[in-house]
Copies of this chain bind each other. A is one copy, B any other.
Amino acid sequence: MKSISIIGTGNVGYHLAKAFHLSGIKIQEIYGRDISEAEQIASMVGANAIDNLADLKAVDILIIAVSDDAIKTVASSLPEHIKDHTIVAHTSGTKPLKTLKGCNNKAIFYPLQTFSKEVELSYENIPFCLNGKRRIIDALSEISSQISNKTLILSDEKRREVHLSAVILNNFTNHLIYLAKDRLKLYEIDESILDPLLNETVRKQSILTPYDAQTGPARRDDQKTIKKHLNLLDGNRELYEIYMLLSDNITNTYQ
């Protein structure tokens, strides 16, 4: 059984700690710059909370779940025994393996999901994207496969593309949902009227490709309706531009 410690108390650190714990994996230490945040997670999963990297004890695997910009600094500040002997993995979708400079056993442990502390989720379907030397990937697969039924080995280059696609698929669609509902609020229309449509939008993806699932004015190249919608958006420059750009892109896709 591998021993694990986690650095970082944000959305990813929080959910990974919980996922490991629920899978029966022992977590040694949770590090947070803010000790009270570390304590909160540590008490939930039966780990020790620390706020000094020098206090990290020997473990098989150390997960660095901090913001992209902080990974390098954290890696270089690790105690020598960790740098030398522990598998040190970061969870970023974008940063390459080499960001972990100075660590002998570099790895990537990137969970492809949207995490918010307030939202519980089941971990079994999350794709874990790993990178590193063969022996290291084997060790990480051992723990990812205890959490989830989907583990992939991806190069830095491919993982970067997956992360980019995830931003388009999750962040941008979430924002469009926000914009659509915000618009209804303005007109004092109950936003929940859109929920059946939202559910169907996604359910449809399991039946048709997104290419075939498309409907609406832009797909039909119905420029009259598009123009009417743009007129309605006249007072909202940003949404106007988003509408125009996406409609043009849809129309071009089906031409």
Among B69, B118, B121, B165, point to the contact of A183 (Cβ < 8 A): B165
Given contacts A189-B158, A242-B245, contact A176 B178 (CB under 8 A): no
Given contacts A178-B253, A187-B158, A213-B116, contact A194 B173 (CB under 8 A): no
| Distance to closest chain B CB from A116 (angstroms) | 7
| Distance to closest chain B CB from A253 (angstroms) | 7
Verify if A54 is at the interface (C-beta below 8 Å from B): no
Given contacts A114-B204, A160-B232, A238-B249, contact A198 B176 (CB under 8 A): no
Grouping DSSP codes into helix (H, G, I), strand (E, B) and loop, the A interface class, with mixed when no group exceeds half, is helix
- Per-position binary interface string of chain A over residues 187-202, scored 1 when its CB falls under 8 Å from any chain B CB and 0 otherwise: 1010001111111111
Verify if A146 is at the interface (C-beta below 8 Å from B): no
Among B162, B170, B200, point to the contact of A193 (Cβ < 8 A): B162
Contact indicator A213/B181 (Cβ below 8 Å) = no
Verify if A135 is at the interface (C-beta below 8 Å from B): no
Chain A interface, number of residues (Cβ within 8 angstroms): 93
- Per-position binary interface string of chain A over residues 156-172, scored 1 when its CB falls under 8 Å from any chain B CB and 0 otherwise: 01101111111111111
Given contacts A175-B246, A196-B127, contact A69 B224 (CB under 8 A): yes
A116 and B202 alpha carbons, distance in the complex (Å): 13
Contact indicator B214/A194 (Cβ below 8 Å) = no
Verify if A1 is at the interface (C-beta below 8 Å from B): no
Q: Which residue of B lies closest to A114 (CB)?
A: B215
Which residues of chain B are within 8 angstroms of A152 by Cβ–Cβ distance? 193
Contact indicator B168/A211 (Cβ below 8 Å) = no
CB within 8 Å of B: which residues of A? 11, 67-69, 94, 112-116, 118-119, 121, 125-127, 150, 152, 154, 157-158, 160-181, 183-184, 187, 189, 193-205, 207-220, 222, 224-225, 228-229, 232-233, 238-239, 241-243, 245-246, 248-250, 252-253
